[in-house]
Structure 1
Amino acid sequence: MWCFLWGMAFVPFFLVTWSAAAVIISYLVAVLSGHVNPFLPYISDTGATPPESCIFALMINFSTFLGTATIYMRYKILEKQNETSYFSTPIFNLASLVLGLVGCIGIGIVANFQELTMPLVHHSGTLLASLCGVMYILLQSLISYKTCPQWNSLSMCHVRMAISVVSCTAVLPMIACASMISITKLKWNPKEKDYVYHLVSAICEWTAAFGFIFYFLTFIQDFQKVTLKISIKTKMDI
């Protein structure tokens, strides 16, 4: 457990545990309040109505901050490693950074614009977060192979790529099935129209979301070797 506190490793570790807690707590509150069915609601459904919507927005907003910090620190780590031993053009690292930050913006939109009040904005945020999120982890996985074996083990590269492939595979049917659903609602009956689309889409959403969240655990070893220094300079009139 204490290895997660070495260097800056606590940042991705805290990101994963906090984000997972945000989703699980919102789900439990929504189910106990009777707002959603216990069996496979959309993640967004568990944060659509008060009081769970307040919890969901508060916790996911902080997750967005942690995600932004983690993604930027990962960018700087790769930048420094690339200076020591050139393994790829910096454009891939920069593209990864942009995708990750845009994905965080999408997550923030999902958290703050509930699907029942502003569905168009909410679904746009979901699409942005899903596509940019899986593209980010896929590009990070490809970069990891470039840094192997000096900065990453081959087994870690395989783990990252496996998570990326599962998440990417889940996102496409999630979007396709969700686009075929003709009504927005929180509670579904198996006999209702579009229930199969909802079920497949929800399974894929949970798979992609937790794949994206737990991917950041693979950064812990890299962050253990990193320290953060804050330098403040002031200019005084002479």
Structure 2
Amino acid sequence: MKSVLGPAAVLAVLLLAWEVLHLAVANTGLPSPLATLMQLVVLLGEAEFWAHASQTAQAFAAAVVLSTVGGIALGILLGMNRTAGTVSEPILVNLYSLPKVTLYPVVLLIFGLGISARIAFGIMHGMIPLTLFTMNAILQMKPVYRRSAAVMGLTPWQTSVSVVLPAILPEVITGARLGVSLCLLGVLIGEMFASRNGLGYMVMHAMERGDMPTVLAVALLLAIVALLVNAALLALDRAWRH
């Protein structure tokens, strides 16, 4: 019960704050929660909306798969070698702190305005955090795991798959929760600045028209999707830990 009441209370406070802010601006710049929900219902009935949503979903799914596989693989590769992990950690941290917008011209030059650029934007945001989580989990793992693998004569590949990865899976899932959310953010930003379709493009186009109900309706839908994905990963994390 407590696990349900907590999020419900937070949601109620957010909705109340939204309504108060809506009333404070005299209904001119911020639609109410009810008006936003009604606009979302209208959008869900439009074929154009689903065409944009389909483009975003494809790019998001590809970015999540590639960043997850790449992040775990790179994290294991660096974490299995302590020297490589120690040297690469500050490099990855500094690379991730670099404003991604500075790399957009390069990405556009390489991938153009198609779905590949949006996938690349998603991977840029989601892969490094998962790599860091995976690598640090291995570096902090109890030495007995790898010693036992060495005694059994396992190859590095067998050790990584059958010993190391199961041992650090909770940390990997935690990193994946962060990476998935950041992948969605990266894809949407890519659509805003480097695309002619997708929900990010739809939001940017609505902002140019001053269509705040549509902007908030799409933002609400994306928030719901992000929360559902995060909740699913959190449930998986809790199931594995128990």
More helix by share: 2
Please report the TM-score for the alignment, with normalisation by the length of structure 2. Answer: 0.33
